[in-house]
Amino acid sequence: MLLHYKVTAHIRGFVVNGEGQLHWRQDGKEYQAKLELSGPLLPSRSQQSTGRITAQGLAPLRFSDKARSEEAAHFERDEGKVSFSSNRPDAVLMAGAQDRLSVMMQLGAMIAGKPKNFGPGTTISVQTASTRDAEVWQFTVEGEEALQLAGGELRAVKLIRTPRKEFDQKIELWLAPALDYAPARLRLTQPNGDWVDQQWSSTDKG
């Protein structure tokens, strides 16, 4: 499945536009997810997550994030740790750990499986790895909303991660049943006020 997005960003006082693509493949045993953002004035960025599919959901093995250069996190499950190419200290690998890309798909799978368990006010805690650390992120379900997007109107469940400390991102995530609970919209807000808003525009299935 290939999801296309219209991307709008506020960077250093300027609003710029671009496009995004989320590639998602899985065969019941393994998965691959890749998110790419680009535009004439939008800094290009690519994130990729690969791993296995287990009874508990996604089990990432490698996560990479490429802007100017690529960095990666490796989930070393036999040793119970997450290691980082940036030479940051290893992190203890917790049960159900995800990365910054797989966490969106994992949350969607959790809600799709038992939607009645995730009503407004529900909190979900997931260890989430970047290429430099692995911290517990806490998402709160805000409820279902109707979205008017470039690809049409969709109903979606909104989750929010509120910053808990200095330099944390605020993350707003809308997961749409009509897209198999994949992200219909994703908005990231930086501590300095800059933001990126990614909104679904179309889907290629295959």
Asked if 132 and 84 touch (Cβ cutoff 8 Å), the reply is yes
The one-letter amino acid at 105 = M
For 38, counting Cβ atoms within 10 Å of its Cβ (0-12 exposed, 13-18 middle, 19+ buried), the class is middle
Q: What is the pLDDT along the chain (206 residues), one digit of tens a residue?
A: 999 999 999 988 889 999 999 999 999 999 999 999 998 888 899 999 999 999 999 999 999 999 889 999 999 999 999 999 988 999 999 999 999 999 999 999 999 999 999 999 999 999 999 999 999 999 999 999 999 999 999 999 999 998 777 778 899 999 999 999 999 999 999 888 899 999 999 999 76
**Which alpha helices (DSSP H) does the chain contain, by range?**
102-113
Predicted TM-score of the model (pTM): 0.94
Pick from 146, 151, 144: nearest CA to 198 = 151
Pick from 87, 40, 34, 43: nearest CA to 62 = 34
pLDDT at res. 41 = 81
Asked if 1 and 21 touch (Cβ cutoff 8 Å), the reply is no
pLDDT at res. 168 = 81
Asked if 106 and 131 touch (Cβ cutoff 8 Å), the reply is no
